[in-house]
């Protein structure tokens, strides 16, 4: 599927979850005044919409932001796999718990961190998530977003985000250009962000 395809709209009735197989996606909510808050960027392996099966309808929208593969999975199929494969069921539970942990950290980010620290935290989180997926993020990583989308995730205007990115660049911490983050000094960036990756850690013992 191409970039910028809408897979779920707010208030859609839902019978499937969506399994991201490759590429970048985002989930968001719109506001009456036209604003948008990006809630998360589900990555390959992530499952979107588990809770909306229970609620009966989507409270958020889902969109691809790069070329992406996203597979719908019916509630019935999900229930079957859960029933027949306890280890998979546990993995699903863990995945969902981690999603909530990421959402929670995002909330903290918006509520209690300055634009600069918040942006730094976001960068480290992305790098860490990609690293756990097996990507090498030492020097940086692809993040195929424009600054509008990034700003909507970070609760900033795109203009202010632009200035924050310049600060990061001028402090030789990280550079964002053409959909790529280059990290110059990950140690300093982690320190700036006060990053504690415990919420991303895989479970103690999992298949």
Partner DNA sequence: CGAAAAATTGACCAAACTCAAGGGTGGTGG
Partner DNA sequence: CCACCACCCTTGAGTTTGGTCAATTTTTCG
Site residues, a copy of itself (CB under 8 A): 11, 29, 31-33, 35-37, 39, 51-52, 54-56, 59-60, 90, 93-94, 96-98, 100-101, 103-104, 106-108, 110-113, 154-155, 194, 198-199, 203-204
**Quick one: what does residue 178 bind among a copy of itself, DNA, none, with the CB cut-off 5 to 8 Å set by partner type?**
DNA
Q: Measured from the CB of residue 116, what is the shortest distance to DNA in angstroms? A: 6
Q: Which residues, 6 or more positions from 165, have their beta carbon under 8 angstroms from its beta carbon?
A: 119, 147, 175, 176
**Quick one: what does residue 100 bind among DNA, a copy of itself, none, with the CB cut-off 5 to 8 Å set by partner type?**
a copy of itself
- Of 19-27, 92-100, 108-116, 127-135: span binding DNA (CB under 7 A): 108-116
Alpha helices, H only, the chain: 50-55, 75-84, 86-112, 115-132, 147-154, 158-170, 186-193
Nearest residue (CB) to a copy of itself, 11 versus 167: 11
Nearest residue (CB) to DNA, 5 versus 51: 5
**What number of other Cβ atoms are within 10 A of residue 45's Cβ?**
14
95 touches DNA (CB under 7 A) = no
Burial 141-165 (b: 16+ CB within 10 A, else e): bebebebebbbbbbbbeeeebeebb
**What number of other Cβ atoms are within 10 A of residue 81's Cβ?**
13
**Quick one: what does residue 158 bind among DNA, a copy of itself, none, with the CB cut-off 5 to 8 Å set by partner type?**
DNA
Nearest residue (CB) to DNA, 5 versus 162: 162
**Quick one: what does residue 115 bind among DNA, a copy of itself, none, with the CB cut-off 5 to 8 Å set by partner type?**
DNA
Nearest to 23 by CA among 200, 202, 179: 179
| Bridge partner residues of 178 (DSSP) | none
């Amino acid at each position: 599927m191409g970039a910028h395809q809408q897979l779920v709209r707010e208030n859609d009735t839902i019978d499937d979850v969506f399994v991201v197989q490759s590429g970048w996606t985002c989930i968001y909510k719109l506001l009456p005044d036209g604003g948008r808050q990006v809630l998360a960027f589900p990555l390959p392996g992530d499952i979107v919409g588990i809770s909306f099966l229970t609620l009966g309808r989507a409270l958020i929208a889902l969109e691809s932001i790069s070329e992406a593969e996203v597979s719908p999975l019916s509630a019935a199929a999900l229930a079957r796999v859960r029933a027949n494969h306890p280890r998979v069921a546990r993995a699903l539970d863990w995945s969902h718990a981690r999603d909530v942990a990421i959402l929670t950290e995002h909330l903290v980010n918006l509520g209690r961190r300055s634009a600069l620290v918040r942006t730094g935290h976001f960068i480290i989180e992305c790098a860490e998530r990609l690293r756990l997926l097996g990507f090498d993020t030492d020097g940086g990583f692809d993040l195929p977003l424009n600054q509008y989308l990034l700003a909507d995730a970070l609760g900033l205007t795109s203009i202010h985000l632009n200035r924050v990115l310049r600060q990061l660049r001028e402090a030789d911490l990280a550079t964002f250009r053409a959909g790529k983050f280059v990290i110059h000094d990950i140690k300093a960036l982690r320190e700036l962000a006060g990053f504690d990756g415990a919420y991303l850690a895989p479970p103690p013992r999992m298949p």
